[in-house]
Amino acid sequence: MKLPRSIRVIERGWLSANNIVLEERSEAVVVDSGYVAHAPQTLALLERALAGKKLARLVNTHCHSDHMGGNAAIQKKFGCAISIPQGEAPAIDNWDEQQLILAVADQRAQAFSYDDTFRDGDVLQMGGLDWQVIAAPGHDTHAVMFHSPEARVLISGDALWENGFGVVFPQLFGRETALAETRATLEAVGRLDVDVVIPGHGPPFGDAGAALERAFHRLEGYEQDIARLARHCAKVMLSFSLLEKRSMPLAELPAYVARVPILAELNSRYLRMTHAAMAEWLVNELERAGAAGRREGLLLARGE
């Protein structure tokens, strides 16, 4: 597994998606900007990675907080253009916090303006390579992937990770075709010539076939039982909040799951627990997964 020298991946964790820097002569393009709370470090990392080259453009695979939260800060510091998937434009134009899964999930991002959009079938030039824009609905109905047939590299966003893919939110909240779209997106990946996948989170990986196999297996579980997806979603949302807050008082968690709209809706639609029972279940699940621990009345992010 080898990436072209013109491509650098700045890998962090789950709160900030990978920043992918694609360089060509004196200019560079960056794919995805990370979470807003990490923006100062993102700017410093990009400054190092660019090493004096001009950042011409910032491109988003989709517009969730961990991928576009740093857009405004990058735009302000580097004066670059911003390009987003065409389907995301209305939500960005109206700064639709529900569509963007921000306040409804207790997440934040800084509003930004974009310069242009792209859509399925377009070709973007990044790092001296031509990248096909491929629609990747599922996790986000308007998400895209970028594929370079020449370099045989796929920038998959949250449509495919080494172990899984991003929560298929739309299926849980009214879009009943979203799991089928997820399947079609994975099948589309299977038709591409790919030596290396650069996912939205985690390190680049080589064996796309094995990753697809794991993804299809996971998808089948959700297709068989939508409550499985709902439980996964609830755990992921609380994990994300905990990664930002670092600790949360255990006593306040029942009120938290009642107050945060996406958690409350998951509960009323699928989980059907008391708030206290949902909070207790979530804490146990996060502990079991090694994502959190509890001490002195607090739920603590791993490493605290």
Partner 1 sequence: MKRDEAPAGDVQSPCNNVCRMNPDSGLCEGCLRTLDEIAAWSGLDDDEKRAVLAQLPARRTAR
The nearest distance, CB 160 to partner 1, in angstroms, is: 12
- Decide if residue 88 touches partner 1 (CB under 8 A): no
- Judged by CB under 8 A, the residue of 162, 182, 194, 222 near partner 1 is 162
- Judged by CB under 8 A, the residue of 153, 286, 299, 300 near partner 1 is 286
> Among residues 10 and 188, whose Cβ is nearest to partner 1?
10
The nearest distance, CB 239 to partner 1, in angstroms, is: 5
- Decide if residue 303 touches partner 1 (CB under 8 A): yes
- Judged by CB under 8 A, the residue of 28, 32, 64, 112 near partner 1 is 64
- Decide if residue 302 touches partner 1 (CB under 8 A): yes
- Judged by CB under 8 A, the residue of 113, 163, 268, 274 near partner 1 is 163
- Decide if residue 92 touches partner 1 (CB under 8 A): no
Question: What are the C-alpha distances in Å from 100 to residues 62, 76, 230, 287?
Answer: 10, 21, 18, 28
The nearest distance, CB 162 to partner 1, in angstroms, is: 4
Which amino acid, 195?
A: D
Site size toward partner 1 (CB under 8 A) is 57
- Decide if residue 10 touches partner 1 (CB under 8 A): yes
CA dist 141 and 44 (Å) reads 32
CA dist 194 and 122 (Å) reads 19
Stretch that binds partner 1, among 83-91, 121-129, 198-206, 247-255 (CB under 8 A): 198-206
CA dist 215 and 212 (Å) reads 5
Stretch that binds partner 1, among 39-47, 128-136, 178-186, 262-270 (CB under 8 A): 39-47
DSSP reduced 3-state for 119: coil
The nearest distance, CB 45 to partner 1, in angstroms, is: 5
Site track for partner 1 across 110-139, x = CB under 8 A: -----------------------------x
Neighbour order of strands in the sheet with 7-10: 7-10, 19-24, 27-31, 54-59, 81-85, 116-118
Contact 31, 61 (CB under 8 A): yes
CB atoms within 10 A of CB 283: 18
- Decide if residue 32 touches partner 1 (CB under 8 A): no
- Decide if residue 69 touches partner 1 (CB under 8 A): no
Give the largest Cα separation in the chain, rounded. Answer: 58
- Decide if residue 12 touches partner 1 (CB under 8 A): yes
- Judged by CB under 8 A, the residue of 112, 118, 205, 256 near partner 1 is 205
Tokens of 140: 């986000």
Read off φ and ψ for residue 130, nearest 5 degrees.
Answer: -90, 130
Question: What are the C-alpha distances in Å from 236 to residues 10, 152, 165?
Answer: 22, 31, 12
DSSP reduced 3-state for 235: helix
Per this entry, what is the length of the chain?
304
CA dist 226 and 179 (Å) reads 10
The nearest distance, CB 283 to partner 1, in angstroms, is: 13
- Judged by CB under 8 A, the residue of 68, 196, 243, 260 near partner 1 is 243
Q: For residue 203, which of 2, 12, 48 has the smallest C-alpha distance?
A: 12
CA dist 30 and 50 (Å) reads 10
Binding site for partner 1 (CB under 8 A): 3, 8-16, 18, 34-35, 37-38, 40-42, 44-45, 48-49, 64-67, 101, 139, 158, 161-164, 166-167, 169, 201-205, 232, 235-236, 239-240, 243-244, 246, 285-286, 289-291, 301-303
